[in-house]
A and B are shown apart, each in its own frame.
Chain A
Amino acid sequence: MSNVSVAGRRFWKRASHDFLRPHELKRIKTNRLPFFKRNDFVLSEDEYKDFEQWRYFPGDRVMITTGEKKGTVTKVVSYINSSNSLILEDGPTYRTILPKQFWQPGTTSYVNEIPEGVKPQDLKLVAKVHDEATGKDKDVIVHKFEFLGKHFNKEWQTWLPTRVVKDKGEVLYLPWPAPESPLERTGASGEDANSERSYYVDSVVHNQIPKDALKDIRNPYSKYKRGTFEQRHLNKFTAPDMPLSETKKAYLSELEAKKALGHKKLTPEVKDFIGGRVKKFVESQKKDLNIQ
């Protein structure tokens, strides 16, 4: 976009993402005139993306805790991504005017009841527990559950977070609802295929793979491939030592000669001579100062 000015580039960048800035969007939402439909959509960056945020999965049995339908046990049908809410089978509805192009078969009026999204925090999970006293399953409302690691869900053929209820040190697992119909396998090998062993090493010395086949197995142009480092490379990249100048040679030889001499030591004769001189001086000083 070199032909676009800096201001133009800025405009394009904004237009490609969200045309309105977040604060502009907020101003529009708060200051606008009354509107038929309660629009509770969220910004794209605030939309729920993972199961930990949604907490429930289509097919989960839930109980509504607020509103007109409080206490109703029903099933999650789908998500509304734009408002971070869930559509329930027997959830709350609202009346709205529906243009004719949106009419479903059987619709006879412009005014229609449409299911309203419910936030995950307004729901409680309903789980089935086997009652040993009666020998039957009974419904239990889960007050609080959390996520503990991940597990491979065979029914959904993917990794899903594990929902658990922790109570007095006990951990109770809450399974995710199974898909309505089993998932079809699309061309991929089975889940046990990765644990099947097809290659056995017979010899430590000889490679089992033929030499010609190695080209197919290994990438000859791999960036991780290490070449062999030879002497010629070393020679090429090592700078030659500069020959020593005559001055330097003389200096080094002088240093060696000095080293060979070793540390000088005072001879007893020199000590005696200097000590004698000091003694003589001290005696004369004593005489001058009349010290005995």
Chain B
Amino acid sequence: MKVTSVLRQSASASNAEYFEQLPQILKNFFTKHSPATATTYSQKPTFTNDPTANPFLPNKHPVTLKYHSPQYSLRRQSVLYKTAKMYGIEDLLPSLNNKKFFEDKYTTKSFMKGVLRPKGHKHELSKESRQEAIKKAMETMETTIAKVKGSKYKKKMEKKREEEKKWY
């Protein structure tokens, strides 16, 4: 919606008029931090008093040697980037090292090993061996029962087998 308001500007409008159309958060940001083309912001954390210190990164204090959290939280960084992208000036912001947006976020996404090749649950992993053990037990069922119940059962089973009707 904000872009459409900018689009309504006539071609003869001056650059300053275009700037005035920007959202307040962007105007505030560029008041405090000059565009990235004017100053080269550091890609890595530096000292807080360094003129090239990146406000989106945690920087170290020269006296206390303690890290100060970034001047802009990750959420605010996202808001600033997305708003700037709407006006095509995202490259004027200091670099966001550990954040990705839109297509970039999904195309260069690295998947986890487990997602690509899942190991499976324990019951899935042990299915084959369990079924094999069942098959083996079924085959040796009679002998196993006979072992427990004794010779009487063995004889009974033999008799049953003899009495079994056959087609021939």
Contact = CB atoms under 8 A, between A and B. Distances in A.
Interface of A: 246-247, 250-251, 254, 264-266, 268, 270-286, 291
B7 A274 contact: no
Nearest to A253: B63
29 contacts: A250-B63, A250-B64, A251-B63, A264-B32, A265-B31, A266-B30, A268-B16, A270-B30, A271-B16, A271-B19, A272-B15, A272-B19, A275-B14, A275-B20, A276-B15, A276-B18, A277-B88, A278-B6, A278-B15, A279-B13, A279-B18, A281-B89, A282-B6, A282-B9, A282-B18, A282-B87, A285-B3, A285-B7, A285-B88
Given A282-B9, A286-B7, A277 B31 contact: no
A286 B88 CA distance: 13
B17 interface: yes
A278 B22 contact: yes
A271 B37 CA distance: 13
Given A250-B63, A273-B35, A286-B7, A281 B30 contact: no
B115 interface: no
A285 B87 CA distance: 10
Nearest to B33: A264
Nearest to A266: B31
Interface string B21-33: 1100001001110
Contacts of A281: 87-89
Contacts of B22: 274, 278
Contacts of B13: 279
Contact of A275 (B7, B17, B32, B38): B17
B15 A275 contact: yes
Contacts of A291: 7
Interface string B63-80: 110000000000000000
Given A268-B16, A282-B7, A285-B7, A274 B30 contact: yes
Nearest to B88: A281
A53 B103 CA distance: 99
Contacts of A280: 88
Nearest to B15: A275
Interface of B: 3, 6-7, 9, 11, 13-22, 27, 30-32, 34-35, 37-38, 49, 63-64, 87-89, 92
Nearest to B63: A250
A277 B37 CA distance: 12
B10 to A, nearest CB: 11
A281 B88 CA distance: 6
Given A247-B64, A270-B30, A277-B92, A283 B19 contact: no
Given A247-B64, A285-B7, A286-B7, A279 B15 contact: yes
A255 B18 CA distance: 35
Given A247-B63, A266-B30, A283-B11, A274 B35 contact: yes
Nearest to B7: A282
A264 B87 contact: no
Contacts of A271: 15-16, 19
A84 B105 CA distance: 101
Nearest to A263: B31
A59 to B, nearest CB: 95
B88 A278 contact: yes
Contacts of B11: 283
Contacts of A254: 49
Contacts of B87: 277-278, 281-282
B74 to A, nearest CB: 24
B38 A270 contact: yes
Given A272-B16, A275-B15, A282-B9, 14 more contacts: A264-B31, A271-B19, A272-B15, A274-B19, A275-B19, A276-B18, A277-B89, A277-B92, A278-B22, A278-B89, A279-B9, A283-B11, A285-B3, A286-B7
